[in-house]
Structure 1
Amino acid sequence: MAGGTFTKLNKRRPGAYINVKAPTRKQATTRASRGLMLYLAKSAAEWGKDGVISLTADSDLKKVLGTDIYTLTDFTGANLTFLGLREAFRVTDAVLYYNVNKGAKAAYEDPSLPWTFQAKYGGLKGNEIKITVIKDPTTPQVTVVTYFGTEQVNRQVVATASQLVSNDYVDVTVTDAAKADDGKDLLDKLVATTTATLTGGTTAKGSGSDDTTIADVIDTIETTAFDVLAITPDANITLHKLMVSAVTRLREEVGKKVTLVIPDNVALSVDYEGITLVANGVILSDGTELSPAVAAVYVAAASAAVALNQSLTYAVYQNAASVAGKLNDDNTIAALNAGKLVFTQRNDGVVVIEQDINSLHTFTDDKRSDLQKNRIIRALDTIAEDTKETFESSFIGKITNNAAGRDLFKSNRVSFLIGLQDQGVIADFVADDIDVRAGEEPDQVIVDLAFTPTDAMEKLYMTMTV
């Protein structure tokens, strides 16, 4: 890790810089989770609702995604999506999972049975559903069992057709032929166990460059409430470029202050505070090597979950044993100067995020170096988003644009900002630092606001005198 002595207060890397001097002795003089990550997962699941699925660490992932990601051992191909999700859940309790699943639903129908069975969702996983109908020879009842793969996921005992209800994996419909007597005749005629597998399930894959899929993705990120966007590790550079453009447009033209975390790529030139580039990966304690693309999902989740008054600088990567793609001191400094987020190891071997920065590395009068710090961007984005939402929900069309109305809006913002200051998110703010006045048009409100966003301790310069 960074360290050593210093002659000027100009070190680039976070670390402890300590000078030791021995001159002639002299006598001594008398914010919890911040938000949500949206994960663009494409069609990896081949099961589940098409569109955004709200997941938590306690979700039954086999039921909603068709796979228990924690029992997987092969993390190649589309399963890289699940590897990214697993890593995200190391640092966050909630993920919005964008599932592309427009395929056909598997189904089964037998004229000897009073029901038709259809998979709850489209996708190839529906072809793994089996239905077993067991006739009880001593009673008029039958037992209907649903299997997903080899696991029994539902079991019902019924005496009539209408008593069988849909479950989490299969939708059940009584056939027209069985409606007259509620299936009694067909059930009476059963003499043996019937087992069948649903068929016809297909997966409509999202390529990442398909126009329809991209249009759906753009619409989703515009209309879904989230804070940080992550992309499945098996996505191509085309999708990365499209999402860089989309997030930039949302921030600059729509006012939706979301951020994007993606792996660094030589084919992608990014220099913007809303985009974080992850330059290397990590090796987990079990030997699993995570690429920058997988690690980027972890960073996105951590960025969404971190409190507003916290930084991810030197944040420990949970369960990591080493860095994949280690950088020496010179290369680490070069990466930081180029706006790359890198993983390094402390002297005790713990893997950490070297510095919580985004890709902004060209600084101007309007964009100084402070804006490269993600903690500061998270604070600024939160203030902008909250002000926008408050104005839209409580003031637009409701409050008269006169002195009293503007004072009401100012009071609202002062209260909010004082709350952030109490949490250590901002500093040096007093009520007089916000000016709310009328614009040139009768419906215009002009606001000028000044405050100091706070940052975490990162660089220690100490002189020891002995």
Structure 2
Amino acid sequence: MALGGGTFTTMNKILPGTYINFVSAPRASAALSDRGIAAMPAEFDWGPEGAVFAVESGEFEKRSLELFGYPYTHEKLKGLRDLFRNIRKGYFYRLNTGGEPAKNDFATALHPGTRGNSLRIVIEAAEASTEETPVYDVSTWMDDTRIDLQTVKTAAQLHDNAFVRFQAEATLAATAGANLTGGTDGAAGDAAYQTFLDQIEPYTFHALGCLSDKPAVKALFTAFTKRMRDESGVKFQTVLHRYGQADYEGVISVENGLTGAADDTSAVWWTTGAQAGCAVNKSLTNRVYDGEFEIDTRYTQAQLEEGIQSGGFLLHRVGDETRVLTDINTFVSATEERSSDFGSNQTIRVLDQIGNDIAALFNTKYNGQVPNDAAGRVSLWNDIVRHHQQLQTLRAIQTFEPENVTVEAGDTKKSVVVTDRVTPVNAMEQLYMVCVVA
């Protein structure tokens, strides 16, 4: 008979043998989460309807034609390029619905929209074709780009591609180019914004952008942001255009229009991406706008001061460059409980990082798994302290000491109460200098 062996929970084995447990060395499990995820609804003339879809930055560069209907350098993708300058991932939703897909006798566009009208099917005799056994090269084109080529004998052998669904019952015949026609974009009503918010709620992101200029839609996004941040504990910031009345740390109001189009909301693209991608220990203050739009920066000093006082996020002219004036949100109604520090986006990023990371830590490691006794609470305390020490190493917070965190038993056997004191660091913005001349 073999000797005993395996792992052990308590030292109560009966058989002689070797019992070994392999465990990881202690390490900080409350890792800092990466930023760089944004969410935006918009009107598109190509793409899926009625569903949120994710696009990584690398995918956008390589597959923009498939995902959005245009090559990466196309004018139509200017806003998306501005957004992706600073993010690693985006969640998108097509607001306009009810459109028709373009079609012809051989294929139907995969998505509704006018962009499908730029598709065409070219059918040519293949090299292996004979009069008795015709073989065809069937290619799919978007404008001047061939996006698919299949060699088949019948339409039933064709496989759908990323742009069209083929008609299996079609009769193939040589054609120099059969255009798809009849594609329409559909409409984008206000209700589409609510549908988007309902669908985006389960996702994790750092900035939410809205291009609408309608006060009702901006009020809807503000209410959603407040509910998610204050009631559900989901921390992100929303970027709107000229909505300073939000007066809330979770809402950023971009004030700039475009040159020649003062009410254009396109600056929201870049600002949403910049906010989502800004590191927890960084500020957007004085950041150079490196996007492609002609931002209207015609402000006087008095207008810039007034904009700051009303919680506006402003881009202004500095020499030949366009830069962020100061990285603030719409919160201006400071109280003893909530000081003016909450108007700083750098401060909010630090607090949001703590809120999101500690929630993720508790829900993945402690919730329902670790006993609520002294040892369990010490373990939670250790993880929170290690997390904050990482923030201090990054210079996102300062003067942190382990005793700033306490973890105690709550009023019930299942609850714990954490008291936490942190001091976020902000970047330098103002220099006051007294120079004494002897």
TM-score class normalised by the smaller sequence: 0.7 to 0.9
Q: Give the CA deviation at 1:160.
A: 5.1
Q: Give the CA deviation at 1:363.
A: 0.5
Q: Give the CA deviation at 1:343.
A: 1.8
- Structure 2 match to 1:122: 112
Q: Distance in 1 between matches of 2:364 and 2:434?
A: 53
- Structure 1 match to 2:277: 305
Q: Distance in 2 between matches of 1:237 and 1:408?
A: 48
Q: Distance in 1 between matches of 2:46 and 2:293?
A: 33
1:229 matched to 2:229? The reply is no
- Structure 2 match to 1:148: 142
Question: C-alpha offsets along residues 344-388 of structure 1, whole Å, 9 cap, x if unaligned?
Answer: 223x33221111000111100111011111001011011001111
Letter paired with 1:171: R
Question: Runs in 1 of length 4+ with deviation above 6 angstroms?
Answer: none
Q: Distance in 2 between matches of 1:282 and 1:194?
A: 43
SS in 1 for 2:53: strand
Q: Note the residue ranges of structure 1 that are not aligned, 5 or more in a row.
A: 1-30, 73-78, 110-115, 179-185
- Structure 1 match to 2:247: 271
Q: Give the CA deviation at 1:340.
A: 1.0
Letter paired with 1:120: L
Q: Give the CA deviation at 1:335.
A: 1.4
1:105 matched to 2:101? The reply is yes
Bigger Cα displacement from structure 2, 434-443 vs 325-334 = 325-334
Letter paired with 2:353: T
1:58 matched to 2:61? The reply is yes
Q: Distance in 1 between matches of 2:175 and 2:293?
A: 53
Confirm or deny: 8 A CA contact 1:48 1:66 kept in the other structure. no
Q: Give the CA deviation at 1:69.
A: 6.0
Q: Which one of 207, 223, 237 corresponds to residue 259 of structure 1?
A: 237
Once the two structures are superposed, the pairs formed by residues 82-231 of structure 1 within 5 Å of their partners are 82-100=77-95, 102=97, 103-109=99-105, 117-136=107-126, 138=130, 140-159=134-153, 161=155, 163-172=157-166, 174-175=168-169, 192-193=174-175, 195-207=177-189, 209-210=190-191, 213-231=192-210
Structure with the largest fraction of strand = 1
Q: TM-score by structure 1 length?
A: 0.78
Question: C-alpha offsets along residues 272-312 of structure 1, whole Å, 9 cap, x if unaligned?
Answer: 111111222465xxxx8685621122111111111111101
Q: Note the residue ranges of structure 2 that are not aligned, 5 or more in a row.
A: 1-31
Q: Distance in 2 between matches of 1:351 and 1:144?
A: 49
Confirm or deny: 8 A CA contact 2:309 2:332 kept in the other structure. yes
Q: Distance in 2 between matches of 1:46 and 1:160?
A: 29
Structure with more relative contact order (C-alpha pairs < 8 Å, separation 6 or more):
1
Confirm or deny: 8 A CA contact 1:135 1:141 kept in the other structure. yes
Q: Distance in 2 between matches of 1:93 and 1:214?
A: 24
Distance change (3 Å), C-alpha of 1:292 and 1:169: closer
Bigger Cα displacement from structure 2, 377-386 vs 397-406 = 397-406
Q: Distance in 2 between matches of 1:32 and 1:432?
A: 24
Once the two structures are superposed, the pairs formed by residues 16-35 of structure 1 within 5 Å of their partners are 34-35=35-36
Q: TM-score by structure 2 length?
A: 0.82
Q: Distance in 2 between matches of 1:194 and 1:224?
A: 46
Q: Give the CA deviation at 1:334.
A: 1.6
User: Alignment length, in residue pairs?
Assistant: 398
Q: Give the CA deviation at 1:146.
A: 0.9
Q: Give the CA deviation at 1:161.
A: 4.8
CA RMSD in angstroms, aligned pairs only: 2.7
- Structure 2 match to 1:38: 39
Letter paired with 1:148: M
- Structure 2 match to 1:71: 74
Q: Distance in 2 between matches of 1:375 and 1:263?
A: 20
Confirm or deny: 8 A CA contact 1:309 1:425 kept in the other structure. yes
Letter paired with 1:220: Q
Distance change (3 Å), C-alpha of 1:85 and 1:413: same
Percent of aligned positions that are identical: 28
Q: Distance in 2 between matches of 1:321 and 1:124?
A: 24
